[in-house]
Structure 1
Amino acid sequence: MSHEVIAILMFSSMMLMLLTGQRVFGAIGFVAVIAAFFLWGDRGGFDLGFSAAIKLMKWYPLLTLPMFIFMGYVLSESKIADDLYRMFHVWMGGLSGGLAVGTIALMVLISAMNGLSVAGMAIGATIALPELLKRGYDKRMVTGVIQAGSSLGILVPPSVVLVLYAMIARQPVGQLWLAGVLPGLMMAAMFMIYIVIRCRINPALGPVLPAEERDIPLPEKIRLLGAGLLPLFIFFAMMVPFVNGWTSLVESSAIGAIAAFMAAVLKGRMTREVFETSVVKTLGISCMFMWIILAALAFGAVFDGLGAVKAIESLFTEKLGLSPWMILILMQLSFILMGTFLDDTAMLVIVAPLYVPLVGALGFDLIWYGVLYTITTQIAYMTPPFGYNLFLMRAMAPPEITLRDIYTSILPFVLVMVVALATIMTFPEIALWLPGYVYGN
């Protein structure tokens, strides 16, 4: 049996298992170990999973994963994130669409706390959505705002998904995080510009808050500003030493976790319930990602042994005559297709063993491609009819927001994201300038 046939058989077996409802790591890991067993016998089958586990345990930057997740849950569970929205409510309510713009800014800061899109979605749906609806904002507008804003969680550092990509692509986590900064901020700015222009054309979509809700004493405004910017101070306390080379990535993650914990303690919000909830959720998410990485490493090892990447590269470039850019675009389109029924993590671990080496072989920068992958998956799981985020939004939204509203709301933001993706593909320095500047120094 040829290597190409074995590779196709592995992919089809894995997809079949996923369609039966098996967990992602179970399906991927099972197919990898069984393939190794039949290819290389007992020793190959047993050693594959063991060597992947040892490689995972020896990957020092993985320690950042529980630290950043814990930091995000502490800030969320202690309601420090609520102060952010109160700050935006007071300071930006005088602008038409100002609360929607503030919600995007809130999502960026939540992303900088947690690194997961689900966290931003949960906070946006529980804090921002009821407030925006109560103040007369168009339900389709605000539903799209929350979905689009929450997607920034997997791009703005500390992105947990980029940690996973770094492990699979064997790229430095720090460079990937820095590569996501400018594209993430650019995309957030594009969302804000769209909201402001749309509300300027049709003020009914985002009415200005009544003066009595905005006109509060200046000392109270300053107090709210300080309370709302506390998470931002925590982020800078964590990232500035790392960017300047004073601390390692793991040390910076520990600073962030300790700073968030101390902030909750000093504000009197670190109760036993908050601490237990944060620890339990951190443990659950961290273990889930570790199992997924373990399965992806095992699957990738089989592909390396088969030489499947070279065979597929030959198929695309020699037999089909496709250019590297055409192959790259086809890859991005396949991510969007898979995003109709898989989340970002599952998409990465399924195709990374094939795509990442192929991208490197075609001469593209893997740091830059990590940003392209992340933006494409953001687009993918917000695209109807089966985008992952659409159903999360449906589960959290109030009854008056229908599935049709959710589908309609996201389309303008998807178009904005496509423009952002095309811009970064055309001008790679948007992603590569900051890591080059920091690590070049």
Structure 2
Amino acid sequence: MSPSIVILLMFSSLMLLMLTGQRVFGVMGFVGVVCALFLWGNNWDTEMGFNAAIKLFNWYPMLTLPMFIFMGYMISESGVANDLYHALHVWTGGVRGGLAIGTMLLMVLISCMNGLSVAGMAIGCSVALPELVKRNYDKRMISGIIQSGSSLGILTPPSVVLVLYGMIARQPIEQLWLAGVVPGLLLAGLFLLYIIIRCWIQPELGPVLPASERNFTWREKIRVLSAGIIPLVLMVAVIGSFFFGFTSLVESSAVGALGALLVAFFRRRLTKKVFYNTLVQTLNASAMFMWIMMAALAFAAVFDGLGAVRAIEGVFLNDWGLSPWSVLLLMQLSFIILGIFLDDTAMLVIVAPLYIPLISKLGFSPVWFGVLYTITCQIAYLTPPFGYNLFLMRAMSPPEFTIKDIYISIVPFVLLMLLSMALIMLFPQIALWLPAQFAR
């Protein structure tokens, strides 16, 4: 049996077993180990899984994941976001859609502190959503803002998704984080512009707060701005210490976790319940990432042994005669389709063994491709039927937020993500300019 047929069988088996509802890591690990057994035998099937586990546990940068995850959940659980939202409430409540604008700004600030989407969803639904509903903001506007804004967490530093991509693609994490800054700001700017224009045209979607709720003195307005110092200090402590060489990546993640802990302590929010909930959520998320990566390493070992990259390269460039840009567009399309059914980590580890080596051979930057991949992950979070943010929004929103409302709400924001992806593909320097400045 030719390697190409085996590769096709592996992918089709993987997709078929996914439909059974089994966990991603179980399906991937099973297909990889079984294929190793039938291809090579001689105990390779058990050794591949064992070697994948040992390789993962010896992977020192993996220590960054639980640290960054802990930082995000501690910020979420300790109520720091409430202080931020109050500050934004004070400053933006007097304009059309002011609280919607404030909510999006909150999502941007939270993204700079956690590197995850789920933490942003939890904060948006628990802090911003009740306030927006109480003040008669449009349901679909609320849903779209919270879902799209929280997805920025995986693009802006300290993005956990970009850390995972850097580990698998063997790319410098600092370059990937820098590459995500301008695209992240571009997306946030497009989201804000959409909110402002839409609320200006249709004021009923985001009514201005009554004067009684925004009657603050300048002294009070200046005082509440102190809440914004926390994300700034944490961002500088985590990202700045790493970029300027004071700490390694693992050390900077520890600085972030310790910083979040100290913030909660000095604000007297570090209760036993907060600490326990943060640890449990950190353990759950870290274990999920590690199981998926371990299964992916076993799965990828079979691909490497079969020469899958050479086979795919031969099909795209020689048999089909596609140009490098056509191949890139097919890759992006496959990511978007896979994102309908899989989470971001599963998407990455399934196709990384094929796409990342091919990207370099096609003459594209792996750092630039990492940003494009991350935006497709953001789209995957918002696209039915299995978008994570859709499920979280339905679970954490009031009954009047119907599935139809939640699905329709994300359409304009997904279109803006596709627009940003097209701009970054047409103008790669949007992602590559900042890394180039620090590389000098």
Rounded Cα–Cα distance in structure 2 between residues aligned with 1:80 and 1:386: 30
1:156-179 Cα offsets, whole Å, 9 max, x none, are 111111122122212222221121
Question: Aligned pair 1:31/2:31, yes or no?
Answer: yes
Which residue of the partner structure matches residue 314 of structure 2? 314
- Residue 182 of structure 1 deviates from its aligned partner by 1.1
Residues 337-416 of structure 1 correspond to what in structure 2 (within 5 A)?
Answer: 337-416=337-416
* 1:179 and 1:368 in contact (8 A); partners too: yes
The aligned amino acid for 2:235 is F
1:317-339 Cα offsets, whole Å, 9 max, x none, are 11111111111111111222222
- Residue 39 of structure 1 deviates from its aligned partner by 1.7
Rounded Cα–Cα distance in structure 2 between residues aligned with 1:55 and 1:433: 34
Which residue of the partner structure matches residue 199 of structure 1? 199
- Residue 274 of structure 1 deviates from its aligned partner by 1.0
Rounded Cα–Cα distance in structure 1 between residues aligned with 2:360 and 2:30: 27
- Residue 86 of structure 1 deviates from its aligned partner by 0.9
* 1:37 and 1:45 in contact (8 A); partners too: yes
Question: Aligned pair 1:70/2:64, yes or no?
Answer: no
Residues 1-400 of structure 1 correspond to what in structure 2 (within 5 A)?
Answer: 1-400=1-400
1:188-232 Cα offsets, whole Å, 9 max, x none, are 011001111111122221111112211223333233211243133
- Residue 369 of structure 1 deviates from its aligned partner by 0.5
- Residue 61 of structure 1 deviates from its aligned partner by 1.7
Runs of 4+ in 1 over 3 A off after TM superposition: 384-388
Rounded Cα–Cα distance in structure 1 between residues aligned with 2:437 and 2:58: 29
- Residue 386 of structure 1 deviates from its aligned partner by 4.5
Rounded Cα–Cα distance in structure 1 between residues aligned with 2:209 and 2:237: 34
* 2:76 and 2:122 in contact (8 A); partners too: no
The aligned amino acid for 2:133 is L
Rounded Cα–Cα distance in structure 2 between residues aligned with 1:107 and 1:251: 26
Alignment length, in residue pairs? 440
Rounded Cα–Cα distance in structure 1 between residues aligned with 2:385 and 2:56: 36
Give SS of 1:270's match. coil
TM-score by length of 1: 0.96
1:68-98 Cα offsets, whole Å, 9 max, x none, are 1111111111111111111111111112112
* 2:124 and 2:146 in contact (8 A); partners too: yes
* 1:341 and 1:388 in contact (8 A); partners too: no
* 2:151 and 2:381 in contact (8 A); partners too: no
Greater mean alpha carbon deviation, residues 297-306 or residues 379-388: 379-388
The aligned amino acid for 1:285 is A
* 1:61 and 1:173 in contact (8 A); partners too: no
* 2:156 and 2:180 in contact (8 A); partners too: yes
The aligned amino acid for 1:341 is F
- Residue 40 of structure 1 deviates from its aligned partner by 2.0
- Residue 58 of structure 1 deviates from its aligned partner by 2.5
- Residue 390 of structure 1 deviates from its aligned partner by 2.1
Give SS of 1:286's match. helix
- Residue 121 of structure 1 deviates from its aligned partner by 1.1
1:359-396 Cα offsets, whole Å, 9 max, x none, are 22222111111110110121233234553322322222
* 1:84 and 1:229 in contact (8 A); partners too: no
Rounded Cα–Cα distance in structure 2 between residues aligned with 1:273 and 1:311: 53
Give SS of 2:8's match. helix
Which residue of the partner structure matches residue 433 of structure 2? 433
* 2:157 and 2:239 in contact (8 A); partners too: no
Rounded Cα–Cα distance in structure 2 between residues aligned with 1:10 and 1:431: 34
1:300-329 Cα offsets, whole Å, 9 max, x none, are 111111001111111111111111111111
Rounded Cα–Cα distance in structure 2 between residues aligned with 1:403 and 1:98: 26
- Residue 357 of structure 1 deviates from its aligned partner by 2.0
TM-score by length of 2: 0.96
Rounded Cα–Cα distance in structure 2 between residues aligned with 1:143 and 1:42: 54
- In structure 2, runs of 5+ residues without a counterpart are none
Greater mean alpha carbon deviation, residues 82-91 or residues 357-366: 357-366
- Residue 186 of structure 1 deviates from its aligned partner by 1.0
The aligned amino acid for 1:409 is S
* 1:121 and 1:150 in contact (8 A); partners too: yes
Give SS of 2:410's match. helix
Rounded Cα–Cα distance in structure 2 between residues aligned with 1:388 and 1:74: 21
Q: CA separation of 1:387/1:277 partners in 2, compared to 1, >3 Å: closer, same or farther?
A: closer
Rounded Cα–Cα distance in structure 2 between residues aligned with 1:122 and 1:181: 23
Rounded Cα–Cα distance in structure 1 between residues aligned with 2:162 and 2:52: 19
Rounded Cα–Cα distance in structure 2 between residues aligned with 1:373 and 1:300: 19
- Residue 57 of structure 1 deviates from its aligned partner by 2.1
* 2:81 and 2:127 in contact (8 A); partners too: no
Rounded Cα–Cα distance in structure 1 between residues aligned with 2:115 and 2:370: 15
1:26-82 Cα offsets, whole Å, 9 max, x none, are 111111112122222234223322332232223222111111111111111111111
Rounded Cα–Cα distance in structure 2 between residues aligned with 1:163 and 1:22: 26
The aligned amino acid for 2:86 is R
Greater mean alpha carbon deviation, residues 208-217 or residues 266-275: 208-217
Rounded Cα–Cα distance in structure 2 between residues aligned with 1:295 and 1:436: 35
Give SS of 1:32's match. helix
The aligned amino acid for 1:347 is M
Aligned-CA RMSD value: 1.5
Q: CA separation of 1:268/1:388 partners in 2, compared to 1, >3 Å: closer, same or farther?
A: closer
Give SS of 1:339's match. helix
* 1:86 and 1:228 in contact (8 A); partners too: no
- In structure 1, runs of 5+ residues without a counterpart are none
